[in-house]
Structure 1
């Protein structure tokens, strides 16, 4: 015990030497750890930033595709319209006699009505000197009539190349628009130019909801469409004298002052282009529209990419902290486990008592579950029986609809056969045996048609492409009129037929049945009308034949137009129809690859329009 104070007295000189050395080690270790963490964090941030920019680029590419599709679709709507309008007689009459006030007024009214129908901004006609003779805005304060636009490229290109396209700010209206030009040919020689101007503001407004900035530049890199109005008429590259001279020569932007956008071009960490504009940084995704000589560019703000990279980096750091905490928690749990082992023996005894109590409770629960299982099995058996009854009811409903369809489809041929049979009796009584034989032949033909019709109705649910053939449209219409001739004569209906020699791709019997159904509806609509007329006409339109059947009846109520082709829908009285004719006709026409539509004529009455694909020979011709 006497040596202890002396030994303790010798320790203080040694301790100060060891203390600072240990603290220096931990300081160096902490510094190195911090530097490594900062380096790894910087590397991770750059990688995360590049990945986030790649995501933004893919998002911008998707937006760019949609923007180009919308713009291209709007332009294609009006691409061929100037050429079609240039063929109108009212335009030719105007160019024949441009000083005839009546013809000028007729052309102005026609162009105004056409512009309203097509939802175009303006439509106007110019002579070969570029002077506007008639325009859809003739009655507006800023009318184009009398204006000369010979300096516009769409005028010169329409005369030299057959079509003109140009985007510009209107010199008269000061409204942006896209111009479509086409020559007006009279006797195969150009006599003027037809121009349609459309407004692209609707597409520009639609882009504003995409969450990105979209802009379109012309060949001189001048913005003429943008989701940011402040960028419109700004240049993305320096406005050199040569570029300004080319722009002014066409007066593309009239007298509007052009400025350069205050943008700075840069390259992102992933090598992609960046723009710094108005305090924001944007990823630029661009694509050229060759047909319009435009460049569409989508600007995606890169701030979310930086935020996303920082967020992911913070989440990674948080995950590391959580991992360290997890290790600490594991160490603490190991210590707690030792305490639990001490309590386990005591808890085991208490657990055994509880197990005995729960065993008794489980036995009672099992007894109740057995009763519930038996009840559920009984319920499942009743459910299967109910499902079988529903399936049988569905089959009976399908059979009922098919029988109703057969009854309706055979009604017309049976009526015609009865009419021919009664006529044959009269002819036999009068000794006209040959004529009676003709009626009998027609009856046999109708019976054969009914047999073919039954086969078609049996396969009605699937599309019978293999059964289509080339059918002469004149023969189909003639056969349908033969079936309904007695009704036309009985009601004194005036019938006009103008069918050119066209052949369509269809089924002969089913096409005849469609015509019978439509004509029957037209005849029914004329029962209580004083003026009774039906007009059947056809024309070729591209690769299709358009057949129209118009009557002078009361027409179709507007609220019923969308339901007229529904099964079992009929506007006739009770007992006068099943409401299946038009529904069956609609599906037959779709099997042919065509369309069937109904509309009301302005002069009164309804018109059914049947569009069918032409036969292969007709298309080649």
Structure 2
């Protein structure tokens, strides 16, 4: 006996013995506790999936009912319906209402719509011309009629006693001067929603307050009771004739809980016996209980597979441990080889460190060179900034020269006219001409103040500007240019005065630049017409200036508004007019673009914010720079 104990104790000291004992304990724990744990995990997953399905089913049911809930009251408020219940003996009018209800029933896609008198008799119905017509039927026993006749909204679900079709009923009272004179009822079909539940890996049932299945994805369960049928239950159901002549049967079931977490329903209707995980939600507004049943066979199969995998994993771990112990001796033999390899690795690391030190020295040299290059770059950038300032100064000088050419030419023209008028003794006309010259000089001063907008946005407030007045003053400046170019300017400002949000002098500056370009564009054309059209659309005023010249060359449309870019020949323009005009329009909060017209020539499109004449006077005074 002592020898056996000593041998057993000696065996326990061997690693193989401890490995076998540990593997056996793990296997027993896996088969016992692990199976229950895995089943619970997979049932939790099934319940979460069932809750999602349940929430979707309840949401669809509620949405479908809510869609029709208010419709009976709308029909009850219809004057013809009120007239019907006060004069139900008018055959022609009853026939008219029958056709009306049939039309409404088709539009709403409901099952039936009918009108009942206070005694419960149906006087008109959408199915008046069918074999199952409700006309003449008395449904005073239905709760939807009783509740509606009492002044509330009637609700009821059940099997139709005439049509033998399931449906949900909404009833609404018909109020007349005599009080409640009838009830309008809408019946909706539930078969479409029920059919959408079929084909899934779950069952959906809807039960009434008595526990009778009213809707289900399993057609064999229809009108079966989950709790056992009793005389009281049958009596309550028969009172409202909820299920007409349908046969009510018991659904053989039993319920139990799994580890106090999951409600299980065992159905023994036929073979084989089925176990379902049950999740439910009450629909108080309809008096229903919606339940989703998920077959637990899948969860239990997955749990069994998990346990088998765990057992195989334990076996694999045990086998791996055995292999480890077996090869441990071999590893001892490899230590010497690894030691030598380690020494060789250290030698290579020393060599690589030396190489890295050399590379580091080269990098430091390169860093010094880059610092010198960076200093040179900073100096170059400083030189470029100075050059940019000089370029900007040159651009501003060129812009001043370009913008002054138009009013100077007009002033020269007025001065020549003034001399002629003085020589002829027309002093008043000469004085008027000199006033125009003074006005041009004022505009030149205003232009010089506003040219800084080419570089930054101005601070002065915009005003409501009369477009007709600006156009007329623009012609005073550009008129001589149009005449010298033998061009014809056709102006169409529409039937009503147009007011825009802008600055009058700057807007005039834009129109002068674009019309001058149009005159140059038609100089070599046969048709020298230039169209200026303005129209208001909503909150914008669109001004279009079209010439009949050669148009914008392909590929240059995006560059046309760049400073110093010009399609004219050398010495015929600085290329600043459109760039300045573009910036001015942007300052106004508008947009300026150019396109080629389909019939030839270019068309410039100016979009500005529309303004009202009422604000023009005050806002004009608030813009001192114009």
TM-score by structure 1 length?
0.52
Bigger mean CA deviation after superposition, 122-131 or 84-93:
84-93
1:49 alignment partner, one of 39, 50, 57: 39
- Structure 2: distance between partners of 1:450 and 1:86: 55
Tell me if structure 2 keeps the 8 A contact 1:90–1:106. Answer: no
Q: Distance in 1 between matches of 2:337 and 2:261?
A: 64
1:239 shift after superposition: 1.0
Cα gap change, 1:310 to 1:132, in 2 (>3 Å):
same
Q: Aligned residue for 2:279?
A: 285
The answer for the alignment partner of 1:397 in structure 2 is: none
CA distance in 2, matches of 1:230, 1:20: 71
1-structure distance, mates of 2:60, 2:186? 19
Are residue 322 (structure 1) and residue 316 (structure 2) matched? yes
SS at match of 1:99: coil
Of the two structures, which has the highest relative contact order with CA contacts closer than 8 Å and spacing of 6 or more?
A: 2
Shift of 1:248: 0.6
3-state SS in 2 of match to 1:214: strand
CA 36–331 in structure 1, closer or farther in 2 if over 3 Å, else same:
closer
Q: Distance in 2 between matches of 1:109 and 1:306?
A: 58
Give the aligned CA root-mean-square deviation in angstroms: 4.8
TM-superposition CA deviations, 1:227-254 (whole Å, max 9, x none): 1111110001111111101101111000
Unaligned segments of structure 1, at least 5 residues: 1-13, 356-412, 419-441, 452-512, 519-573, 579-621
State the shift of 1:96 in Å. 2.8
Question: Of residues 114, 131, 138 in structure 1, which corresponds to 2:128?
Answer: 138
Please list the CA deviations of residues 561-602 of structure 1 after superposition, one character each: whole Å capped at 9, or x if unmatched: xxxxxxxxxxxxx99x99xxxxxxxxxxxxxxxxxxxxxxxx
- In 2: Cα distance, 1:320 partner to 1:292 partner: 54
Cα distance in 2, alignment partners of residues 415 and 74 from structure 1? 58
Q: Please name the residue that 1:253 is paired with.
A: 243
2:101 corresponds to 1:111: yes
Residue in structure 2 matched with residue 78 of structure 1 by the alignment: 68
**Contact map agreement 1:63 1:210 (CA 8 A) in 2:** no
Q: Report the counterpart of residue 63 of structure 1 in structure 2.
A: 53
Alignment of 1:122 onto 2:112: yes
Q: CA–CA distance in 1 between the matches of 2:30 and 2:167?
A: 54
Aligned-pair CA distance for 1:57 = 2.0
Residues 372-422 of structure 1, C-alpha deviation per residue, up to 9 Å, x if partnerless? xxxxxxxxxxxxxxxxxxxxxxxxxxxxxxxxxxxxxxxxx999999xxxx
Mapping for residues 602-617 of structure 1, pairs under 5 Å: none
* Larger Rg belongs to: 2
**Partners in 2 of 1:90 and 1:112 — Cα distance?**
14
- The one-character-per-residue Cα deviations of 1:295-352 (angstroms, maximum 9, x if unpaired) are 1111121122212222222232222222222323333443443555677799999999
Moved more, 84-93 or 316-325: 316-325
> What secondary structure does 1:253 align onto?
coil
Report SS of the residue matched to 2:275: strand
Q: Which residue of 1 aligns with 2:177?
A: 187
1:300 aligns with 2:290: no
Verify: 1:196 aligned to 2:190, yes or no. no
Q: What per-residue deviation string (whole Å, max 9, x for no partner) do you get for residues 244-296 of structure 1? A: 01101111000000000011122212343211014111121122111111111
Measured in 2, the distance between the counterparts of 1:252 and 1:209 equals: 28
- Deviation larger for 91-100 or 324-333: 324-333
The 2-side partners of 1:152 and 1:167 are apart by 10
For residue 524 of structure 2, what is the aligned residue in structure 1? none
Contact 2:30 2:311 in 1 (8 A): no
1:161-217 residue CA offsets vs partner (Å, 9 max, x unmatched):
421000010111111000000011112611111000001112212223553211111
Give the total of aligned pairs. Answer: 379
For the residue of structure 2 that corresponds to 1:148, the secondary structure is coil
Runs (4 or more) in structure 1 with deviation over 4 Å come to 17-23, 28-36, 338-352, 413-418
- SS of the aligned residue for 1:207 comes to coil
Aligned to 1:472: none
- Say if 1:50 and 1:270, in contact at 8 Å, map to a contact too: no
Out of 164, 172, 188, the residue aligned to residue 174 of structure 1 is 164
Question: SS state of the match for residue 196, structure 1?
Answer: strand
Query: Cα 1:341–1:115, aligned 2, differ >3 Å: closer, same or farther?
Result: same
Sort the Cα spacing of 1:416 and 1:285 in 2 relative to 1 into closer, same or farther, 3 A.
farther
1:89 CA displacement? 2.1
CA offsets per residue over residues 473-499 of structure 1, 9 Å max, x none? xxxxxxxxxxxxxxxxxxxxxxxxxxx
SS in 2 for 1:203: helix
Does structure 1 conserve the Cα–Cα contact (< 8 Å) formed by 2:148 and 2:154? yes
Find the residue that maps to 1:208 and give its secondary structure. coil
Distance 1:311 1:348 in 2: 46
User: In structure 2, do the counterparts of structure 1 residues 348 and 205 end up closer, same or farther at CA, with 3 Å as the change threshold?
Assistant: same
Unaligned runs of 5+ in 2: 350-464, 471-494, 503-535, 540-597, 607-626
Q: Does 1:158 align with 2:148?
A: yes
Equivalent pair of 1:45/1:309 in contact (CA under 8 Å): yes
Does the 8 Å contact 1:130/1:148 carry over to 2?
Answer: yes
Deviation, 1:55, is 2.3
Tell me: CA distance 1:345–1:22, structure 2 relative to 1, closer, same or farther (3 Å): closer
Q: Is the CA contact (8 Å cut-off) linking 1:417 and 1:443 kept in structure 2? A: no
Find the counterpart in structure 2 of residue 96 from structure 1: 86
Determine if the alignment matches structure 1 residue 337 to structure 2 residue 331.
Answer: yes
CA contact (8 A) 1:53 1:270 kept: no
Relative to structure 1, the CA distance from residue 35 to residue 326 in structure 2 (aligned partners, 3 Å threshold; closer, same or farther) is closer
Determine which of 219, 235, 238 is the counterpart of 2:228: 238
1:414/1:209 CA distance change after superposition, 3 Å: farther
1:100 Cα deviation from its structure 2 partner: 1.9
Distance 1:270 1:53, change over 3 A: farther
